Structure formats: C-alpha cells, structure tokens
Amino acid sequence: MRHGCTGSMLIAALVSLAEVTAAAQTGAIPRTPDGRPNLQGIWQVLAPAAWEIQDHPPRLGVPAGQGVVEGNNLPYQPWALARKQENFANRATADPESKGYLPGVPRIMYMPFPFQIFQTPTQVAMTFEYAQGVRIIYTNGTPHPKGPIEWWLGDSRGTWDGDTLVVDVVHFTDQTWLDRAGNFHSEALHLAERYTMTGPDHINYDVTVEDPKVFTRPWKMSMVLYRRKEANVRLLDYVPGLLMEADITEQERRKTN
C-alpha cells in the first residue's frame, strides 16, 4: 500500500525507535547513534499554508488562516504581481496541483497530508503521502549536479549547523506554485531550509525563498512540523492523478448507462 525505502533507512528507523520513545518520555530531543537530532517519524504541518501562505479569510472549501510569511508581504516584481493576481482568478483550473502534479518544494512540506522522515549519516529521505512523492536530502558532502536541470522537487544538499539541518535546494521546474492562491516562482527558485527540533514532537521549519526572476528580494516562511502520534499511524496512498483518471472513467460509465 506504500512505497518503500532502502534497507539501510529501514534499519536506521528500527534502531532509532527506542531512542525516540525514550526521548518522548523525558522531553529531550531524540538523537541518532552519531549524535545528530533524530528527525525520523511521521510529521505534518497544521497551518493552512497549502491554501494560501499569507493571511486569508475563509472561502468555500478553504479555511481561514494566519500567514506563514515573515511580515505577511511577498516582494513581487510588478509583472509578477499581475501574474499572481491572474493565477488567483483562475486558480480552480490553473493550479498545477489541480492537475495531479507533484506540488514541488516547499509546498509539499505543508500540504495537508503527512510525510515520513528516514535518516542515515549520509542522507535524509522524505516519503510523502501526497502523490507518493520521495525527496532525498544528501548529507554526505556531495555538491549539486551541474545544471540547468528542472526537477519537480529540486535537488537538495544538507549540512548540520549544530542541531539544525540546513538544506540548500536548487534545480526547479517553473511548473509548480507555492500555494493554491496563485503564488508562484520560476525555474530560478533557490531555497535555504532549516529544520530545528525544539522537543521530541516538534520541528521548526524555516525556509528562505529567493527567485530573482520573480521577487525583488529574498523572503522567509516559518511553520511547525508536528509529530503524528496516533496508534499505528502510517502513510496511506493519495495519488491524485490516478484518482482523477478513475473519476473520469466513472463519469464516462454513467453517461453510457
């Protein structure tokens, strides 16, 4: 029912389970055998940023939400602001996510679906319930491959700054948005992410967004990742492309009956 990971990641997850459980009982940050914060587990953002990353009122099917953007302002270039407004007006059909595409980074991090982190000394893997996405953050010191390359989730290279995982992400496609409200970027998007555990069940997620083709300056978002703690919690499958195909097939079947 769920795609798998490498054997080393599964072994690491099993070995670290006892450490995570013990840390949860004491309130301490769980750690891996090499002393790094143990990010493993199933996580989810509760903020409604996937609908809109800025403050927004309720709309049909969209909950009201407090923004996750620092200062609540996006520094669009004039042409890009007009494009964003056009995107918003046509969001029901123009949003790439509505077509079943991977939502891209950072949006996939705050979709209203859980994701799971696996961690080894050389990489951090994220598997997402939404669209069965898989993201690898290489922490082995290797550089980004030479571009230009256009990938749905970009290329991620991580280093540790004390207890914070710092991730540099480049090589994006321009076919994803930042939210359902039409906020967008170009293929020149560059992200600097920071993952900081504040306790056994919370990770502060901060991301600085830079795109000189769309914005006049870098800007920042911040939110909290919450550990899912339900008994027997697991990732299920939500594959929008397949669900859309099934819906179309069902509609065609009804027309012929």
Let me know if residue 45 belongs to a domain: yes
For residue 9, name the pLDDT band (cuts at 50, 70, 90): low
Mean of pLDDT values over 118-142: 97
For residue 20, name the pLDDT band (cuts at 50, 70, 90): low
Using the predicted structure, report yes or no on whether residue 4 has a pLDDT greater than 60: no
Six token digits for residue 94: 């123009």
pLDDT tens string 174-192: 999 999 999 999 999 999 9
Let me know if residue 2 belongs to a domain: no
- Per-residue pLDDT at 245: 83
- Per-residue pLDDT at 37: 98
- Per-residue pLDDT at 255: 81
Let me know if residue 199 belongs to a domain: yes
Mean of pLDDT values over 97-112: 96
Using the predicted structure, report yes or no on whether residue 13 has a pLDDT greater than 60: no
pLDDT tens string 194-249: 999 999 999 999 999 999 999 999 999 999 999 999 999 999 999 998 888 887 88
Using the predicted structure, report yes or no on whether residue 55 has a pLDDT greater than 50: yes
Let me know if residue 38 belongs to a domain: yes
Mean of pLDDT values over 23-41: 87
Range of 98's domain? 7-256
Contact 174, 151 (CB under 8 A): no
Q: What's 216's domain CATH number?
A: 2.40.128.20
Give the Å distances, CA to CA, from 41 to 51, 60, 135, 235. 25, 33, 15, 11
For residue 252, name the pLDDT band (cuts at 50, 70, 90): confident
- Per-residue pLDDT at 254: 82
* φ, ψ for residue 199, nearest 5 deg: 175, 180
> Under 8 Å CB-to-CB from 237, ≥6 apart: which residues?
1, 2, 129, 132
pTM: predicted TM-score of the whole model, two decimal places: 0.88
**Structural domain count of the chain:** 1
Mean of pLDDT values over 139-162: 97
Let me know if residue 55 belongs to a domain: yes
Using the predicted structure, report yes or no on whether residue 2 has a pLDDT greater than 50: no
Let me know if residue 1 belongs to a domain: no
According to DSSP, the β-strands at 164-170 and 41-45 are unpaired
Let me know if residue 180 belongs to a domain: yes
Q: What is the dihedral of CA 153, 155, 160, 161, to 10 degrees?
A: -80
Q: How many angstroms separate the CA atoms of 114 and 123, rounded?
A: 20
Mean of pLDDT values over 49-67: 96
Let me know if residue 96 belongs to a domain: yes
Tell how many helices (H) and how many strands (E) occur in the chain: 4, 9
* Vertex 211 angle, CA 208 and 213, to 5°: 165
- Per-residue pLDDT at 11: 53
> Under 8 Å CB-to-CB from 251, ≥6 apart: which residues?
none
- Around Cβ 71, how many Cβ atoms within 10 Å? 10
- Per-residue pLDDT at 25: 57
